[in-house]
Chains A and B, each alone.
Chain A
Amino acid sequence: MAKIELTRIPFIKNALKSRYPQLAVFIVMLIGYIFAILAGLIGTPVGSHNFSIVFVWIAWWAILILVAVPFFGRGWCAVCPIPLPGEWLQRGAVLSPPDKRPKWLNLRVPKMFRNIWLQNISFLLLALFSSVLLTTPNITGIVLAAMLFAAIGLSTVFERRAFCRYLCPVGGFIGLYSQTAPIELRIKDKQVCVTCEGKPCYNGSQAGYGCPWDVFPGGLTKNTYCGLCMECIRTCPHDNIAVNLRPFSADLAKPSTRMDEAFKAFIMLGSAIIYAGVLLGPWGAFKDAAYNVGSGAWFIYAAAFLAIIFVVLPSLFTLGILNTKNTLSLKQRFASLSTALIPLGLMFWVAFSLSFVLTNASYIIAALSDPLGLGWDLFGTANATWQPMLTSMLAPAQTLALVGGLIWSARTAQKAAGEVKVSPIPVIVYCFIATSLMLWLLL
């Protein structure tokens, strides 16, 4: 399938180039985000009746993992409200053309942090406390507020969107999985960028801001670090930026060689497996351990969580590829071949989320009418009873997602193995074993 340039359609191009449609969505999102913080802090402590839990961890999560990431990649980042207040503060403006003088410290993020290790750590921190975070409104409120303030703080110290690019726990995995999405932002003609004076897409101009994600669009070869903010479409004086529809997982044809990205794939794969067992499994002792933060059982849970992600899964993977010898180092082979885990991990999350979302989606209807759990009945649905949805379709849908993910991963493994000239079989066997384990946990 060839690429289709969506920005050739005047309506799409105008909508992306104008700041107003995006601003309108931003404002709605920001209001929703602030309301989620307030609901978490002042609403009912009963999670299933609180807007912060129901709309963040059920509604938003469902949209993010089942729709936004698989089909739009970093589409969520394009409308995420978290960086907005910090960015407005950093620029000293909401919409007006940029002032060249920096308003704050405007430092460059130190080189040692210019990778996604901090995002890996921030995700794991939340993951270890996820049983509490997913179920306790005030903790969700505090975490959402902390992310907002962290983004503001980093915007006053560092240039551009340092929080999104290097710290956001959600942005890390969205970036990883955005490589599988059938949407991309790319330049049309490389030569135009080479000869372009001033590189306004990166440095900014009167037409708009330099890339908030610290990316030079002329060098974009994958979606991972492009936040789809559309700023470069506005600043490019040569109309050389396109948003394309493309085949799924086009970016994975050229495997990454970065260890931070490789471990991100393991973190996400391992977390999905662990959550499927702990949260959706029938074993109460695991749930107790995950929920009772600070207890001895929780420390064992946390140690096991980290050991599975950083030791068990990578070690088994390494053992598998140990004999696939070629001129590349083991580290390079490890990083390249772990690309195959990206579609597998995404589909693990889809299968896990289907179960969680379909059984809890009916809480959304009640929370719409009574978002704070204070006895309101705004739309007459406050007393809607809990009812799981489509449970008879759940197992087939999960099988479809997991087996589909396995096929997708096996194909990716073949491509990645072809690039580094080794056999894909050990990686495919690894993916098959992981898929069988996930099937056993979910079905």
Chain B
Amino acid sequence: MRFRISLLLLVMAGLVVAFVPLPVPAIAPQERTFELDAGQFAYSPSEFHVSPGDTVNIHLTSTDVVHGLYVDDYDVSIEADPGQSATLTFVADKPGSFRFRCNVTCGAMHPFMIGKLTVGTNNWLYRSIGLAALAVLGVMVSRKQKA
């Protein structure tokens, strides 16, 4: 009986950790502009942060061959010819961490030309680590109670 109650509590705690809405700091949306260089096989800078609701302008400049930039989940993309720039504008209305990647075959390591955009806080990471901690706790508790 105690085991079932503990299990139920852990499952409920897991659901809270995974899905409970977290307070979002009230920051007025801004227009943010980033200058990104794309060269085989990296972006510079390769990571950038914006706040939820920001309008993001990415000026992508290719320093060697044709490169692209595709943002996962946002499903928006852009291409830049060698030595040229192109601009991608979108509203960062989905919070979390997103990979952006080259969407034009640009050489051998093309599939791994990846950058990272974080919108607000990467809550999913913290939730996942919380779930991992709960999982460990659950395994230990279940073992103790069985013993």
Contacts and interface: CB of A to CB of B under 8 A. Distances in A.
A414 B139 contact: yes
B51 to A, nearest CB: 19
A391 B73 CA distance: 6
Given A402-B132, A407-B138, A359 B101 contact: yes
Contacts of B112: 131, 135, 279-280, 287
Contacts of A440: 125, 129
Contacts of B96: 395
B103 interface: yes
Contacts of B46: 282-284
B14 to A, nearest CB: 9
A411 B140 CA distance: 9
B124 A399 contact: yes
Interface string A60-103: 00000000000000000000000000000000000000000000
A288 B42 CA distance: 9
Contacts of B110: 47-48, 135
- Pick the most buried of A283, A284, A394, A435: most chain B CB atoms within 10 A of its CB: A284
Interface residues of A, number: 46
Contacts of B43: 282, 284
A2 interface: no
Contacts of A48: 105, 110-111
Interface string A152-196: 000000000000000000000000000000000000000000000
Given A280-B112, A288-B42, A291-B109, A443 B139 contact: no
Interface string B60-72: 0000000000101
B42 A284 contact: yes
Contacts of B116: 281-282
Interface in B131-147: 131-133, 135-136, 138-140, 143
B95 to A, nearest CB: 12
B125 A443 contact: yes
A285 B115 CA distance: 12
A411 B132 CA distance: 14
A375 interface: no
B20 interface: no
A348 to B, nearest CB: 13
B136 A410 contact: yes
B57 interface: no
A436 B132 contact: yes
B136 A406 contact: yes
B117 to A, nearest CB: 9
Interface of B: 41-44, 46-47, 70, 72-73, 96-97, 99, 101, 103, 105, 108-116, 122, 124-125, 127-129, 131-133, 135-136, 138-140, 143
Interface of A: 46-49, 131-132, 135-136, 279-285, 287-288, 291, 356, 359-360, 386, 388, 391-392, 394-396, 399, 402-403, 406-407, 410-411, 414, 425, 428-429, 431-432, 435-436, 439-440, 443
21 contacts: A47-B108, A47-B111, A48-B111, A131-B109, A131-B112, A135-B112, A279-B112, A280-B99, A280-B112, A282-B46, A282-B47, A388-B101, A399-B124, A399-B131, A403-B131, A403-B135, A406-B136, A414-B143, A432-B132, A432-B133, A443-B97
